Amino acid sequence: MSADGTHQVDAELGTERIDPERYTSKEALKAELEHVFGRAWLMACPLAYLRSPGDAYPIQIGQEPIVIVHSDDGEIRAFYNVCRHRGRQIVTRPRNIKSLFCWFHGFEWNLNGSVKNIPDREDFGNYTNDEDLVLPSIQCEIWGGFAWINMDPEAPPLKEFLGEVLPEFERYKLEEYDLVEETIVEWDCNWKIGADAFQEGYHGPITHPQLQFVLEDSPDMQIDLFELHNRGIYIMGAPCKRLSDDERREANPILRAIAESEGVNPDDYVGKLDEMRLAIQEARRANLSARGCDVSKLTDDQMTDDHHYFIFPNITVNTFADKFSVFRYMPDPLDPAKMVFWVQQFERRGPNEEPAPLPEITYGKGREFKFDNEVYNQDANNVPWVQQGVYSKSFKGMLFNHQERRLRHFYHVLDQYLDGRR
Ligand code: FES
Ligand SMILES: [Fe+2]
């Protein structure tokens, strides 16, 4: 901070406004799909979708249909999910399969991608061979309870890509959490407008006023900018220090629910909610430990706080000791003004507890869709209005302040991918 109290806004990350065309142009979208989504590691799916041999999970990344398959030899592999005959998509929904079978004319592959059967093979003469007909594979790695994919055959290993985030995630043991809820909603905005909305806390007091009574949203919150990814730490479990003593006296309904879920009685902490936060931490550690969950690597603050990661290019992970959520910002393959907001919620499972069954997926569209969690509705309400604004000739581009430096960093990394420095 300088003498006059202003922040010298992270100049090494650039100070330019972000060009509005980046949210509206088809060329920009095409370049992002090719140079960013075509080259970065992407989270494909939780392993709950790939438990048994034959389990197959299709996912579309831009214009690329991909399928992840648990092969007979136990390996989890990823292929382009496109028939080598006339291009039909092969697996169209998550399911267990005996082989990769195309339902148009019956081309068939083994679960390792080798050719199994081509009907009337002789009718193709000798102008094609097995090598030409094998399903092309892409890089696939398993880590943290997820399958990850990368369409770039030259990409470095996933662990290198995750970098500084890896040891932090390892403390949580993400693979010990179960997928319990999944929601997929189409939003009328560019995928980056979605990603941006979840990389800063500056909008908290206005967009989510109720959260001030549950977390610290001061401009000084800890922010870490890693090589590719970034993190913000939301101190949770007590009202924001900016509120008056009177406002910080009693727990609001959200904070009450957090305390009560750990067996802490909020009525015992009227006028001393900071102490209640410590009581919640202690109770949560005791409750998790009693279920056999190993939380020994997590600090007391991690018992309450949201360690809020952005994994480049399109994932948010809100990590907690007892649960975490993943938000994915999926670009539309063709329309820069559309994206899919994909939410998965996970809960910690004790070693002696049964794995949760796969949840039903809830689908929705735009602002009309109502999440159970009001916070998401508040975010969903902003994003299409932002998209409307970026078309205006009056709009000069996105402006970011010091509190929004995670965004500056995101565009900095994005540009490195787009101009070939990564
Ligand atoms: S398109 Fe797949 S078998 Fe013809
Ligand atoms: Fe928000």
Ligand 1 nearest atom to the CA of residue 86, by list position = 1
Tokens encoding 191: 């995928």
pLDDT value for 315: 98
The residue nearest atom 3 of ligand 1, judged by CA position, is: 105
In this structure, what are the phi and psi dihedrals at residue 369, rounded to the nearest 5 degrees? Answer: -70, 135
3-state SS, one letter per residue, for the chain: CCCCCCCCCCHHHCCCCECHHHHCCHHHHHHHHHHHHCCCCEEEEEHHHHCCCCEEEEEEECCEEEEEEECCCCCEEEEECECCCCCCECCCCCEECCCEECCCCCCEECCCCCEEECCCHHHHCCCCCHHHHCCCEEEEEEECCEEEEECCCCCCCHHHHHCCHHHHHHHHCHHHEEEEEEEEEEECCCHHHHHHHCCCCCCHHHHCHHHHHCECCCCCCEEEECCCCEEEEECECCCCCCCCCCCCCCCCHHHHHHHHHCCCCHHHHCCCHHHHHHHHHHHHHHHHHHCCCCCCCCCCHHHCCEEEEEECCCEEEEECCCEEEEEEEEECCCCCCCEEEEEEEEEECCCCCCCCCCCCEEEEECCCCCCCCHHHHHHHHHHHHHHHHHCCCCCCCECCCHHHHHHHHHHHHHHHHHCCCC
Ligand closest to Cα of 211 equals: 2
pLDDT value for 6: 60
Q: How many angstroms separate the alpha carbon of residue 127 from the centre of ligand 1?
A: 17
**1-38+164-209+222-233+305-422: which CATH number, 3.40.50.300, 2.40.420.20, 3.90.380.10, 3.30.420.40?**
3.90.380.10
pLDDT value for 1: 52
Domain range summary for the chain, segments of one domain joined by +: 1-38+164-209+222-233+305-422, 42-154
For CA atoms 150, 154, 155, 156, give the dihedral sign: positive
pLDDT value for 303: 98
Ligand 1 nearest atom to the CA of residue 88, by list position = 1
Which are the contacts of 12, defined by CB distance < 8 A and separation ≥ 6? none
pLDDT value for 218: 83
CA 405/CA 386 separation, integer angstroms: 19
| 50: nearest Cα among 85, 94, 5, 6 | 94
pLDDT value for 191: 98
Name the stretches of the chain with pLDDT < 50. Answer: none
Q: How many angstroms separate the alpha carbon of residue 101 from the centre of ligand 1?
A: 9
pTM of the model: 0.96
- Distances from the Cα of 244 to the Cαs of 203, 240, 270, in angstroms? 20, 9, 14
Residue of 84, 107, 121 with the most ligand 1 atoms within 8 Å of its CB, for mutation: 107
CA 386/CA 381 separation, integer angstroms: 10
Residue of 80, 82, 84, 86 with the most ligand 1 atoms within 8 Å of its CB, for mutation: 86
List all residues whose CB is within 6 A of at least one atom of ligand 1.
Answer: 83, 85-86, 88, 102, 104-107
Return mean pLDDT, the chain: 96
Tokens encoding 195: 């990603």
The residue nearest atom 4 of ligand 1, judged by CA position, is: 105
Ligand closest to Cα of 104 equals: 1
Judge contact between 57 and 48, C-beta under 8 A.
Answer: no
The CATH architecture assigned to 42-154 reads 3-layer Sandwich (2.102)
pLDDT value for 335: 98
